[in-house]
Chain A
Amino acid sequence: MEILLAIIIGVLYAAAIYMMMSRSIVKLIIGLALLGHASNLLIFNMGPLVRGRPPLIHEGAEVPIPPFADPLPQALILTAIVIGLGAIAFAIVLVRSVYQQVGTDDIDELRTTER
């Protein structure tokens, strides 16, 4: 399962970078979103993947009995997903207003601040 996820993460990273290489602003945003997903899955893969064993402490015991699913990476991803959602939502709105002002979705046209 870990290996399968690792391959998916690799594919996601590759797709993200491919999309970001494009000159279209929209593809760039899609690339950024994929990059975020790849990082989230990477963290998910960090804790050992255990099915059907929630990290609950049984009555009378002090610690849960291993193997159990590591809750921390999931908490981290939850935080990261929320932050990523906000950032991408903002980026989409920004792209829309850039498009309205500049009238193009070609990144090469956005050069007026570098002259």
Chain B
Amino acid sequence: MTIPTKMLILLPILLSFLAAIINILAWNHRRWQRIVTLVATTLNLLVALRIFMVVYGQGPQAVQASNWPAPFGITIVADLFSAIMVVITALMGLTVAIYALADITPQREALGYHPLYHTLLMGIYGSFLTGDIFNLYVWFEVMLISSFVLIGLGGDRGQLEGSFKYVTINLISSAIFLAAAGLTYGVTGTLNMADLRGALAQVPGGFATTLGMMFLLAFGIKAGLFPLYGWLPAAYHTPPAAISAIFAGMLTKVGVYALIRVFTLLFVQEVAYTHSLILMAAAGLTMVIGVFGAATRSEFRRILSFHIISQIGYMIMGLAIFSPLALAGAIFYIIHHIIVKTNLFLVSGVVNWMQGSYDLKKLGGLYKTNPGLGVLFLIPALSLAGIPPLSGFWAKFVLVRAGLEAGDYAIVAAALFVSVLTLYSMMKIWQFVFWQKAPEGVVERGHGEGENGRFFRLLPIIILATCTIIIGLYAGFFFDVAQQAANQLLDPTQYLNVVLQR
């Protein structure tokens, strides 16, 4: 069956929307909800791979909503960077959905987990595929409202406190984003991103840069950039493992995607100031502060949350250096990071399932009872720290090399230093959870639920660990794709032509 390209790039959004509606209709039928969730996420992965193949083979693709020509209508556009992000989202959507079969309790399912999961994915797909800055705001809100409910779903005290902070800071960020979008319209008279590129180039003085800084503030909060990251480690460790895994993998990366998009397509008027100074400093500080935070914590998911912040720094470092190689490194890093970080959160969920805690001091001895799980933890953990030949090594290697070529030695030194500390805190988790003897009173659980629970928990972890190894072994291909995506970002002629139909 061949699907017309114009339909194809709308499908991830439409499929998620359809799945959400069916899930609402089947509110009291858990079995059906689960089947719909699995079918929809599987189909979306196939669609995403097809989108990737089309965009990889034929260049960027665009659809004008209701045939209103750009810049008057809303354009949905997929260039290679968007296509990569859609594929990764679909992969995470499927694996986390499988994990959630075992992890999300029937009580949470009855409160509407399934429909919200799909609206969350819909918001993420929409953010990656839209070509309009106000439409991006709308997709952000779709994603955020879903995530607000998901993070608080179930209503434990910790969850409520975490979600309260999460909601507050995100509403502030949205208000800033909204004001920035409004001002952009006031200054240029357009909201289409392709059209804005030309319009912003003609804006006098520092208007464009000022707007850029407002967007940096708005997206920086969502991405967890220094010094706006405080909400992240206060919130991400509170919901069930499946929910925090999809949050950890995807949500901050939507912020990073938006930053990369606006700071390659729109705000390139004063690169020496915006990129080389502001973004560079933010990247370096984010890396270092994040990893220090992780080194001092002793709760599994809090350590991982701080590492998210630290890793965001690497991605922004690629954007800040602003050379083709560095951007390719940043894109490669995002691919690697989403897979690895989601996987680590899933492993932490399994550990909690087996021994009933996330606190490192209350865990131990898992390598003796579950050597397989130990290996499954080590693969993403070592990849995160950047041990060859896993994916993280290549991601860091490319970024460091790009930094050296550009002569930004300070940020390279920070990156290498942070990498060592990352290894340290991964080894700390290994030491406490897997290697040393279990402390008194730890009861091995997790065999009562039968083999199904075990299967659904371990399958996604195995899939993601395999992806990490494959990316490491075939780094050449993945790097080539990232390089092409970076080239499209730095020279958006194709993107502009396809959106503006020139």
A residues at B contact (CB < 8 Å): 20, 25, 28, 32, 35-36, 38-40, 42-43, 45-47, 72-73, 76, 79-80, 83, 86-88, 90-91, 94-95, 97-98, 101-102, 110-114
Partner of A97, one of B155, B175, B233: B155
A83 to B238 alpha-carbon distance, docked (Å) = 26
B308, chain A: closest CB distance, angstroms: 16
Chain A positions within 8 Å of B183 at CB level: 42, 46
On whether the beta carbons of A76 and B182 are closer than 8 Å, the reply is: yes
Partner of A39, one of B155, B158, B182, B191: B182
Please give the number of chain B residues whose Cβ is less than 8 angstroms from any Cβ of chain A in the complex. Answer: 38
**Does B161 reach chain A (CB closer than 8 Å)?**
yes
Q: Which residue from chain B places its CB closest to the CB of A107 in the assembled complex?
A: B164
On whether the beta carbons of A83 and B160 are closer than 8 Å, the reply is: no
A28 to B141 alpha-carbon distance, docked (Å) = 20
| Additional pairs, 10, CB under 8 Å, beyond known A83-B174, A113-B162 | A25-B164, A47-B186, A73-B182, A87-B171, A91-B168, A98-B161, A101-B160, A102-B157, A112-B158, A113-B161
User: Contacts A32-B172, A36-B175 known; A76 to B235 CB distance under 8 Å?
Assistant: no
Secondary structure at the B interface, as helix, strand, loop or mixed, is helix
Partner of A42, one of B155, B161, B179: B179
Chain A positions within 8 Å of B255 at CB level: none
**Does B152 reach chain A (CB closer than 8 Å)?**
yes
Partner of A114, one of B138, B145, B234: B234
A33, chain B: closest CB distance, angstroms: 9
The 3 A-B pairs with the shortest beta carbon distances in the complex, nearest first, are A46-B186, A43-B182, A39-B178
Q: Which of B238-281 contact A (CB under 8 A)?
A: 238
Chain B positions within 8 Å of A91 at CB level: 167-168, 171
Chain A positions within 8 Å of B191 at CB level: 72
On whether the beta carbons of B178 and A80 are closer than 8 Å, the reply is: yes
Chain A positions within 8 Å of B235 at CB level: 113
23 sampled A-B residue pairs with Cβ under 8 A: A28-B168, A35-B172, A36-B175, A39-B175, A39-B178, A39-B179, A42-B179, A42-B182, A43-B185, A46-B182, A83-B141, A83-B145, A86-B145, A87-B145, A87-B174, A91-B167, A94-B164, A95-B164, A97-B160, A101-B155, A102-B157, A113-B161, A113-B237
A83 to B139 alpha-carbon distance, docked (Å) = 11
Q: Which of B109-144 contact A (CB under 8 A)?
A: 134, 137-138, 141, 144
Q: Which residue from chain B places its CB closest to the CB of A98 in the assembled complex?
A: B160
On whether the beta carbons of A90 and B149 are closer than 8 Å, the reply is: yes
Q: Which residue from chain B places its CB closest to the CB of A76 in the assembled complex?
A: B134
Chain B positions within 8 Å of A40 at CB level: 178
User: Contacts A46-B183, A73-B182 known; A32 to B171 CB distance under 8 Å?
Assistant: yes
**Does B163 reach chain A (CB closer than 8 Å)?**
yes
A17 to B175 alpha-carbon distance, docked (Å) = 12
Give the residue among A45, A94, A98 with the most B Cβ atoms within 10 A.
A94
A47 to B185 alpha-carbon distance, docked (Å) = 8
On whether the beta carbons of B167 and A73 are closer than 8 Å, the reply is: no
B351, chain A: closest CB distance, angstroms: 19
A98 to B167 alpha-carbon distance, docked (Å) = 12
How many A-B contacts at CB < 8 Å in the complex?
A: 104
**Does B435 reach chain A (CB closer than 8 Å)?**
no
Partner of A90, one of B160, B167, B234, B237: B167
Chain B positions within 8 Å of A110 at CB level: 161, 164-165
A80 to B299 alpha-carbon distance, docked (Å) = 39
**Does B148 reach chain A (CB closer than 8 Å)?**
yes
A64, chain B: closest CB distance, angstroms: 15
Q: Which residue from chain B places its CB closest to the CB of A44 in the assembled complex?
A: B182
Partner of A112, one of B149, B157, B176, B182: B157
B121, chain A: closest CB distance, angstroms: 19
A23, chain B: closest CB distance, angstroms: 13
Partner of A101, one of B137, B149, B157: B157
On whether the beta carbons of B163 and A76 are closer than 8 Å, the reply is: no
Chain B positions within 8 Å of A39 at CB level: 175-176, 178-179, 182
On whether the beta carbons of B171 and A113 are closer than 8 Å, the reply is: no
B153, chain A: closest CB distance, angstroms: 11
Q: Which residue from chain A places its CB closest to the CB of B141 in the assembled complex?
A: A83
Chain B positions within 8 Å of A73 at CB level: 182, 185
A101 to B158 alpha-carbon distance, docked (Å) = 10
Chain A positions within 8 Å of B185 at CB level: 43, 46, 72-73, 76
A91 to B141 alpha-carbon distance, docked (Å) = 14
Give the residue among B162, B163, B178 with the most A Cβ atoms within 10 A.
B178
A16, chain B: closest CB distance, angstroms: 8
User: Contacts A43-B182, A46-B186 known; A112 to B160 CB distance under 8 Å?
Assistant: no
Chain B positions within 8 Å of A83 at CB level: 138, 141, 145, 174
Q: Which residue from chain B places its CB closest to the CB of A41 in the assembled complex?
A: B182
Q: Which residue from chain A places its CB closest to the CB of B299 in the assembled complex?
A: A115
B499, chain A: closest CB distance, angstroms: 18
Q: Which residue from chain A places its CB closest to the CB of B182 in the assembled complex?
A: A43
A83 to B142 alpha-carbon distance, docked (Å) = 9
Q: Which residue from chain B places its CB closest to the CB of A36 in the assembled complex?
A: B175
Chain A positions within 8 Å of B176 at CB level: 39
A95 to B168 alpha-carbon distance, docked (Å) = 11
Chain A positions within 8 Å of B160 at CB level: 94, 97-98, 101-102
A32 to B238 alpha-carbon distance, docked (Å) = 23
Q: Which residue from chain A places its CB closest to the CB of B166 in the assembled complex?
A: A94
A85, chain B: closest CB distance, angstroms: 11
On whether the beta carbons of A112 and B161 are closer than 8 Å, the reply is: yes
Give the residue among B144, B152, B158, B186 with the most A Cβ atoms within 10 A.
B186
Chain A positions within 8 Å of B182 at CB level: 39, 42-43, 46, 73, 76
A28 to B167 alpha-carbon distance, docked (Å) = 11
